[in-house]
Structures are given as structure tokens and as C-alpha cells.
Amino acid sequence: MRLIFLIFVILIFSGCEKKEDINQNIVSTTTKSSNLSLKDVFGKNYEFEKKGNGFNFGKLSGKVVLLDFFATWCPPCKAEIPHLINIQKEYGDKFEIVGVLMEEDKPVNEIKEFIDEYKINYIVLNSGDISKLVKSVGGVRSIPFMIMYDEKGEYFTHYIGAVPEEMIVSDIKRAIKE
């Protein structure tokens, strides 16, 4: 029984793909600006502009933004969803989670069913310049993978693999200077 529990814990706190040392690539320091046009599963448009080591998040500007790169088939990604829901409820006025679905050509009805099943209360992007967004953050080699940006859209921190809710909350409080 202990072995099963240990395997479960290792699975939860690791990503769904091979981890590499990607810390150096996470913050792209390019000064080149690029515009990204993204859509959520309900067809709502989001315009992000890459600027230095952060983004202008358009209509989300002024909030701390957590980009959550995930897949619907990934067990650690699924395990984090209840925590992300709690965090979005608690800090929604100053904070926004943006789920970035890493599955190409996933039917919209299946994504909506997944959102309903897990009661996701945050944005889930599934089309548009997803590959450009992934490239602009230095690539995504392991999921779940999250990057937090402060209220000015500047890189704040990142997480590889599943992380405790308390760690994310602590970072949110520092990012919004509570």
C-alpha cells in the first residue's frame, strides 16, 4: 500500500513529459514585440502582446496572470484543477488563470465537456496563436507548466509539475503586494 501511495505522490508532483533544465528558457528576454491572437473555447478573443520578459495581456492587464499549460489527458494537470478553481474564486478580482490547452485539434465539444466535468471557472484557450505563445515563453517541455506574471505583465515565477495550492497562493500575495 505504501508503494502505491509513493508512486501516486511521485506521479502527482512530476510532469507528464520528460523534464529538462528549462529554467534558462522560461523568460524570453527578447525586446522584440509580437502580437498574439488567441481564442477560448467559447470563441472569445484575447489579444496578448509579448514585451521583453512579459506580456501586455490586453483586457486582463492590471491583474496577476497565471498561464497554465495543460492537457486533458494529463493526470497531474487534472489533479491541480480543484486548487486552481479555489484560487480563482479567492483572488478573481486581482488575479486571472489562463489555461492554455496543449492539445491540437481537440474537438470543442470535448473541451467544453471537460470544463463542465471539472467545473473550471477560468479561461481556457484552445485556438489561435497557441504555438506562438508557447514559443514566446521559451517552450513547454513538461506539463503541467505554469508561469505567473505580476500586475504589470512582467515575469514573476514559474512552476514545473504539480505544485501545492499554498505555494501558488503565497506567490500571488507577493505578486499583488497584499
> Domain residue spans in the chain?
2-175
19 pLDDT higher than 90 = no
Q: Are 73 and 110 in contact (CB under 8 A)?
A: no
Contact criterion met (CB below 8 Å) for 128 and 39 = yes
Catalytic residue among 60, 67, 77, 111: 77
Q: Give me the pLDDT at residue 32, please.
A: 58
- pLDDT class of 110 with cuts at 50, 70, 90: very high
CATH of 2-175, one of 3.40.50.300, 3.40.50.1970, 3.30.470.10, 3.40.30.10: 3.40.30.10
Q: End-to-end distance of the chain based on CA atoms, in angstroms?
A: 42
**Catalytic-labelled residue, pool 41, 60, 67, 74:** 74
Helix 75-91 with 165-175: angle, nearest 10 deg: 40
Mean pLDDT of 116-131: 94
Per the annotation, the verdict on 16 as an active-site residue is: no
77 is catalytic: yes
Q: Above 70 in pLDDT, residue 3?
A: no
Q: How far apart are CA 149 and CA 54, in angstroms?
A: 7
13, pLDDT greater than 60? no
